[in-house]
Amino acid sequence: MSAQREELKKAKRIVVKVGSSTITYPNGKCNYFRIDRLARELSDLQNQGKEMILVTSGAVAVGVDRLGLSEKPKNIPAKQACAAVGQGLLMHTYEKFFAEYGQVVAQVLVTRSEMLDRHRYTNARNTFMELLKKRVIPIVNENDVVALDELKIGDNDNLSAMVASVVDADLVVILSDVDGLYTANPQTHPEATLRHCVEEITPEIEASAGGAGSSVGTGGMCTKIQAAKSATTSGINLVIASGSENDAVMRILNGEDIGTLFVSRENRLQFRKRWLAFGAKIKGRVTVDDGCEQAIHKTGGCSILPVGIVTVDGDFEAGSTVSVVTTSGHELARGLTHYSSEELQKIKGAQSADIEKLLGHKAFDEVIHRDDLVILN
């Protein structure tokens, strides 16, 4: 077992993406055997203490079947009509199977705007975190009913990588109708061999990705490579494996050499902190008292609570990157704030227990979580 595969055993928060061809038959009808097996596997991992998030395709395909159409429509309104019918049916199916294994699931529909708009991004992240905290399995799909840009963020391969970034996942597993990335398209090149590990996505790797493998879904290997680039750039490992493989996710988490592993060069926390230190635009400043400064230095980084904040400068929203300075004006750290400048003005110096009384709501006890804080010196 390679060191890279061994590392996957440590993954706690996992995003699993299933393609249309994995959970439906070519005629669009649900493959209940596969769905049941998937629900059982993810439920067992959840029971082991993992945090599972499922990104699913299939809504349009299920809607096409229920509406009695002979093929998937080409125009957007017709696709969205199929999605509107299929989303409810697909979610009902998932809910039924996961309930059999004692799990609570929640439907999360997203659009591109959740990934681009700061307010919506923060709200989406907070919702995911609350669901995971309550041991709920989020089932995610793009909101095909209202999406305007060809129904998609790109496709659910890219959506899975985006969701993984939002929730700070440790691993993405894409289950599809292919075994992984081959040296060439195996449908046209029988001599092609499976790549078990990719440490760098080179132009050659991108060129070896063929076209779409199935008429049921929207993505092919190209979109999976895009997702792999997005995930690994964000510090997250990604595996592409066959959805027909028995217990694929479980076996991947046990370190088995199945599918293709795309290796991140740094872990997600290292990436996040590097981005905070050097890549993020500073939107404001919070000054902390001596006690908070000493605690940060002593522990090598701790969460910043409202009680330790003396002053707030700038006009910024929740989710913004702010500079953390000492009372002498020295920049101590940078981090992502859970509260806006307006909210911080009201809660600075207060105990976390008083946040709800002061604001009328409380999303977090801390203003900046230690995982979202990078110490500059």
**Dist CA 94 CA 107 (whole Å):** 10
3-265: CATH architecture: 3-Layer(aba) Sandwich (3.40)
Tokens 């499976």 -> residue: 194
Which residue ranges make up each domain of the chain? Answer: 3-265, 272-375
**Dist CA 115 CA 270 (whole Å):** 21
- Mind listing the pLDDT tens digit for each residue in 191-209? 889 999 999 888 888 777 7
Tokens 């229920």 -> residue: 66
Residue 58 has pLDDT above 90, yes or no: no
Q: Look at domain 272-375 and name its CATH class.
A: mainly beta
Which tokens belong to 318?
């929740």
pTM over 0.85: no
- Mind listing the pLDDT tens digit for each residue in 250-268? 999 999 999 999 998 776 6
Q: Give Cβ neighbours of residue 161 (< 8 Å, ≥ 6 apart).
A: 172, 226, 227, 228, 230, 231, 234, 236, 238
Which of these, 284, 271, 270, lies nearest to 336 by C-alpha position? 284
3-state helix, strand, coil in the chain (%, to 5): 45, 20, 40
Cross-strand partners of 304? 368
Q: How far are the Cα atoms of 31, 110, 205, 217 from residue 241, in angstroms, in the given order?
A: 18, 25, 17, 16
Residue 150 has pLDDT above 50, yes or no: no
Report CA 145 to chain centroid distance, whole Å: 21
Residue 350 has pLDDT above 90, yes or no: yes
Which of these, 168, 121, 165, 112, lies nearest to 143 by C-alpha position? 112
On whether the CB atoms of residues 231 and 165 are closer than 8 A, the answer is yes
**Dist CA 324 CA 310 (whole Å):** 11
Do 3-265 and 272-375 share a fold?
no
Looking at residues 25-37, what average pLDDT do you find?
91
Which of these, 324, 362, 322, lies nearest to 343 by C-alpha position? 362
- Mind listing the pLDDT tens digit for each residue in 154-174? 578 888 998 998 898 999 999
